[in-house]
Amino acid sequence: MRDVLIALVPAAAAALYFFRGEALRLMVVCIASCLATEWGCRRAMQRDNTLGDLSAVVTGLLLAFNLPPGLPSWMAAVGSVFAIAVAKQVFGGLGYNPFNPALIGRAFLLVSFTGPMTTWSASLVDATSTATPLGMVKEALKAGQALPFELTGGMARDFLLGNMNGCIGETSAVAILIGAVYLLRRRIITWHIPVAYLGTAALYAAILHAVAPAASMPPAFHLLTGGLMLGACFMATDMVTSPTTPRGKIIFGIGCGILTLVLRTVKSGAYPEGVSFAILIMNAFTPLINRATRNRVFGQTQPARKAA
């Protein structure tokens, strides 16, 4: 967990640069709320204090990264309490939760407070619209209009660096990739899920763009906008809720990539983003994937049954 926190430092720095005090406020509120909830739950259940494993800090920081900069502090606190108490401690704590707690917290907030969770402010970044790039594209397609913009070199550079509207920790692809490289070098994660996830999403987007270029954005747009990069590198790779075998991780990543693009590109969908729900859906399949891809042990025999 300490290595994950170190890997999240570049994304946190980018969040502070682009969203300033709002980013700091959300990170402090979410981390403090997660720590307090973890302490309270463990005390109420008369179990050992687990604040020292830093998992609550990671959950709080990742949840903050998945929130819009203008979200009220009390809503961020409610989501943090839900993430720790319901998505983690109810199942027994770290290592037993079937779903990623930070994503459960975000999904809860998105369903409970849809308006604030989908409201963006152009005053915080050098943006020309209060909508996210994904939101602009989705609304245009739902209205039967042409795509609102083309992905130019300058726009792609802004998206790569993080100069766009979005949740505070998901906008800078460069910062996220720096952290992912650190985790790979430390062998905290493997390449299987990020590569399978991003590769599948890029292939899906490339096929759509080749078939209907006037109604779909190119792969680079999907890779650099929304929470795809953050989800692939830090959320889908969660050690507890992702498969354990290399083949299972690839299957998991492919499933996340397909579901993300389906949710993003379906015109009748309510939300322009699909990363959180895609990963949570695949979390549910993790036990089945583990069972289907577990290595067979050769050279062992079944014990003989005793005669009745």
Structure tokens at 271: 């939300």
C-alpha distances out from residue 31 to 77, 195, 298, Å: 9, 29, 47
Supply the DSSP string of 123-147, one letter for each residue: GGTT-S-SS-HHHHHHHHHHTTPPP
Nearest to 136, CA basis, from 153, 116, 150: 150
pLDDT at 268 over 90: no
Give the dihedral sign, CA 111/239/191/6: positive
CA 51 to CA 43: how far, in whole Å?
11
List, for residues 278-307, the tens digit of each pLDDT value: 999 999 999 999 999 987 666 555 555 555
User: pTM to 2 decimals?
Assistant: 0.90
List, for residues 45-97, the tens digit of each pLDDT value: 888 888 888 999 999 999 999 999 999 999 999 999 999 999 999 888 888 88
| Residue 197 near residue 231, CB atoms below 8 Å | yes
Give percent of the chain above pLDDT 90: 65
List, for residues 92-150, the tens digit of each pLDDT value: 888 888 999 999 999 999 999 988 998 876 545 554 456 788 888 888 888 778 888 88
Quote the mean pLDDT of the chain: 89
CA 237 to CA 303: how far, in whole Å?
37
